[in-house]
Structure 1
Amino acid sequence: MPADSASGVRDYFPALTGLRGVAAGWVMLLHLWLMAEAPRVAPFGLDLTPLLACGFLGVDLFFVLSGFLLGLPFLAWAQGLRPMPDLPRFLKRRALRVLPAFYVQLAILVLAGWLVSGAWPVDWRQLLAYLSMEFVFFEVVGPLLNGVWWSLPVEWNFYLVLPLLGFAFARARWWLVALGVLVAVVGFRLACYDWLLERRMSGLFSYPSIIQLPARLDEFLFGMLGAWFHLRGVRPSPRTLHVLLAAGLAGVGAVIAVIYGRGDIFATADAPWIFVHATLIGAALALIVYASAERARLAEALFSGRVLAFLGTISYSLYLWHAVVFQVAQRSGLTHWRPIANFATLALLLIPVALLLSWLSYRLTEHPFLVTAPAARWDRR
């Protein structure tokens, strides 16, 4: 999912581009691992299975990155560093950043469904729901044409909420804003649990909303808090940055250790983890994002390489298209053909296809809409 900064003022953080690549690659590896029937993966005796099984945390990383990067211009205004961002321009740029790639994929999948089955896979009501980018709230949609689309309305609705959060930061102390958001988010998750007990599993106010906004708003908030302290211009010492980075990595490891083996905690309503999961992982990931934005040496070494930079550049298209490539391979029977059904062989066969298709999608449906003017740099002196 896209996570670049907006509203006419941008800054480039090489390590954050790499983290976008980590997020997209992590989700892709999770789906590949599931398609290979969730085997134990332990090259050279190093058990990577828990890391693969928790690849859904890549989506949480996308949300934190969006909070940091998209929050920058609004928080700079809140701190008196720049004028208020132009809201119509901000929303226009967000629409041009997100919608073209999604609409093109929607058209391709609808046409492919008609060619394969001879019937349209969506009716006009479902099509309108998809075009609205609020499709998860329409019962008429049913199973999504592409399963990874569930997260797109989360990101889209954050764009609508972000200006309000910017106003809140401008009018109140940052810790009051953070406390208010956390109380509201946890309260909403508890309400979702009550709706589950009442067997409300559809509609605008129902248990599945626990994976949508406002239930995920704290992850964006933690990213914005990282941007808030970044803009204050007081760079921590290298030692402090590495302590923060180590704490973030340790926090992610602790969440993986707790959640691994529990399955989909939202599908099983695994309390109390459904109430605190996003908060815990969001805080840990925000430490990593902040240390990376402040150019901690270890973060630069881990996340600023060319491979991750490439994956980060095409991360939105990679997120959209890898699932389609894997689904086609699965339906063709390729994943069940025993000579090549293992994880490593599937990775060698399918990941290059996903990367090529994603690069084409980026060049044709994302790059033409990117702002081409030289990026303005933050003057924090």
Structure 2
Amino acid sequence: MNTVTGKTALVTGASSGIGQEIAKLLAKDGYNLVLVARSDDTLERLSEVFKGNYDTQQITIIKKDLSEEDAAQDVYNQVKAKGITVNVLVNDAGVGLYGLFGTDTDWEREKAMIHLNVLALTQMTKLFLYDMLIRNEGKILNLASLLSITPSPLMAVYAGTKAYVYNFTQSLINELKDTNVTITALLPNATDTDFFNKAGAQNTKITDELQDPVMVAKDGYEALMAGKPKVIPGGLKNKSYEVLAYVAPQEALASLMHDKMLQKPEPDAEQEKKTTLAWGIGFGLAVVTGIAIGIAYKNANALDRARYRYKAKSAGNSISDALSSVVDAVVDAYQNTKTKAEHLVSKGEDKAVDLEAEVAA
């Protein structure tokens, strides 16, 4: 495509997954590239592909493990020494770790994860953002996650790091509002990369819902180029999680995410559990969403009440989509759950006081 000439994008985690797909889109649009990852062999092969397919003029490869101390500073120093101006920064590199925090997971791996997901991303942003502000030009994409806005038992530290990334990015958006520098948070759902294998979560139920990294990268890239503050790829189903994150109690969200992160049941037990799970989660989410909206509605002014009425309607329309991955194999049970959930949420305002009293009792 080659629509951009003379500009350079730096992509961390470029050797695979979402990072590789975003690097491909940048190459198609004519950006020169700085590719950062632990595997230089993979990056060398990727460089040849980009040069052959997209006529990319300049590709710089930096082999670096960003979980190491001062790795981000070293990357920045190498870029400056080569006289490269980074116009676009994509902070994609990140890892996860699966298991119970108190008993299962290893602290050294968690410490390295925090360093990579939080410290390296923050330092990379600080170093390159300073140069962008001097030029008053630049774009940054930070890879957050849908787990940025929901608790996630069994991946508690990972979810915590992504909550930091999202909050950090949204804070910088406000700081940068009077400049020509933009920063965007990408919040994908579970994506079909090597992430779950490396995290030790390859047999969890969430892996039945994996999304296409090409789609995720495309949505993230378009949001980056448009300077949007955030993007949740995947349509209504994933955006409904955002609605639930704002209106449902955190305990209910934690229970929902805990179930998704459990190991897949044995084949004989799976069919038996799906119908019960569909009813239980669907009914529970409808009730807690109604309670959350109802309590807030009771104490709100007229303008806020109008907003809550809209949220209640939105939640009712989207709950079935949020649960669709759980109940694909039990269509009849799903339809009944959807009907009951919509019925409960639509009556959330009228029964808010009664529900509040019932919870208190």
TM-score higher than 0.5: no
- The structure having more radius of gyration, on CA atoms, is 2
Give the TM-score of the pair, scaled to structure 1. Answer: 0.23
Instruction: Considering fraction of residues, name the structure with more helix.
Output: 1
Give the TM-score of the pair, scaled to structure 2. Answer: 0.24
